[in-house]
Amino acid sequence: MKTIAPIEGLISNLNKLPGIGRRSAERIAFELAARHDNLLQDLAAALQEVARNTTLCSRCGGITGLAENPCFFCAAPSRNASILCVVETAMDLLLIEKTGSYSGRYHVLGGKISPMRGNGIDNLKIEALRRRIATEGIKEVILALNSDVESDATASMIMDLLNGMEVRVSRPAMGLPAGSGIAFIDRITLNNAIQNRQDFQTGGKKEEGGRQKPEVSGQRSSPFATQAPPEALPRREATGNKEVRGQNNI
Ligand code: ZN
């Protein structure tokens, strides 16, 4: 089908967005082009506003305003600076923040390892994570990644790269079927999953083997609001070369 050039340009750009296939991109583009109100102009202005006045936080990689860098989460002195919650995207950061119970800091990877999309380890902010752990007095890293194969591979890769660093590494007890992600969990379940996070180790790197981890237990140092952990939250089972241990009290 022959498409008018400007609309084809819009379709191809929409098609680059996650979750927008060619058919959806065509539907949106034709809907926008057919509108006789100001939606198209308003949308263009909003996109330009975001492009001109937002950037990635120089510390955590989340989205922030040009005039607020480092971002609020990195700069706020009231937040627990010894714990980093590592997420794949800035949207995941927002979802965890909406639980209202986490008050540590964040680190946004900018995606996950994905051979299908040509996304390798060099495309992720893992070296920046290592640098932050080494220089910011980080005692715990929570790998709040999704529950699919690529996210699990990314978590294992990060765990290997952090080997030898004196930091506790944990993952949320997601309580949802494999293949799901943070964006598909309701706020309460996400909150419980993080509160019930478990130590995360790859095969052959057991704590008894010499890996020293700082003590971070205790309500006083917890970045979470005091709340009794649920008793019946489904747990992540040990699979493959991963070993998980229960670690409810934080
Ligand atoms: Zn930040």
Instruction: Give per-residue pLDDT as tens, 166-208.
Output: 999 998 876 555 666 777 777 777 777 777 787 876 544 444 4
CA distances from 245 to 56, 128, 169, 170, 198 (A): 35, 27, 11, 9, 6
Q: How far is the CA of 239 from the centre of ligand 1 (A)?
A: 33
User: 8 — phi, psi (to 5°)?
Assistant: -60, -40
User: Is the peptide bond prior to 70 cis by the omega test (within 30 degrees of 0)?
Assistant: yes
Tell me what pLDDT residue 72 has: 94
pLDDT value for 180: 64
Beta bridge partners of 141: 84, 169
62 CA → ligand 1 middle, Å:
6
Asked if 114 contacts 157 with a C-beta cutoff of 8 angstroms, the reply is: no
Phi, psi angles (nearest 5°) of residue 221:
-95, 0
pLDDT for 242: 39
Q: Ligand 1 center to residue 57 CA distance, Å?
A: 5
Averaged pLDDT, groups of 10, the chain, 250 residues long: 84 92 95 87 94 96 96 95 95 91 93 84 91 95 90 91 91 66 75 78 45 40 46 36 36
Q: How far is the CA of 243 from the centre of ligand 1 (A)?
A: 31
15 Cα: distance to centroid of ligand 1 (angstroms): 29
Of 52, 53, 70, the C-alpha closest to 61 is 70
Query: For 118-140, how does the pLDDT look when each residue is reduced to its tens digit (9 = 90+)?
Result: 788 888 999 999 999 999 999 99
The structural domains of the chain, ordered by start, are: 5-53 (1.10.8.420), 81-245 (3.40.1360.10)
Contact 199, 244 (CB under 8 A): yes
**How many whole angstroms from 10 Cα to the centroid of ligand 1?**
32
CA of 129 to the centre of ligand 1 (A): 12
Which tokens in the block code for residue 236? 């992540």
For residue 186, the model assigns a pLDDT of 77
How close is the Cα of 223 to the center of ligand 1, in Å? 16
Q: Which residue, among 149, 158, 159, 142, has the nearest Cα to 114 in the 3D structure?
A: 149
How many whole angstroms from 69 Cα to the centroid of ligand 1?
Answer: 7
- Tell how far the Cα of 75 is from the centroid of ligand 1, in angstroms: 7
Q: Give the pLDDT score at 174.
A: 62
Residue 71 CA, ligand 1 centroid: distance in Å: 4
pLDDT value at residue 135: 95
Q: How far away, in angstroms, is 89 Cα from ligand 1 center?
A: 13
Q: Give me the pLDDT at residue 190, please.
A: 77
pLDDT reported for residue 131: 95
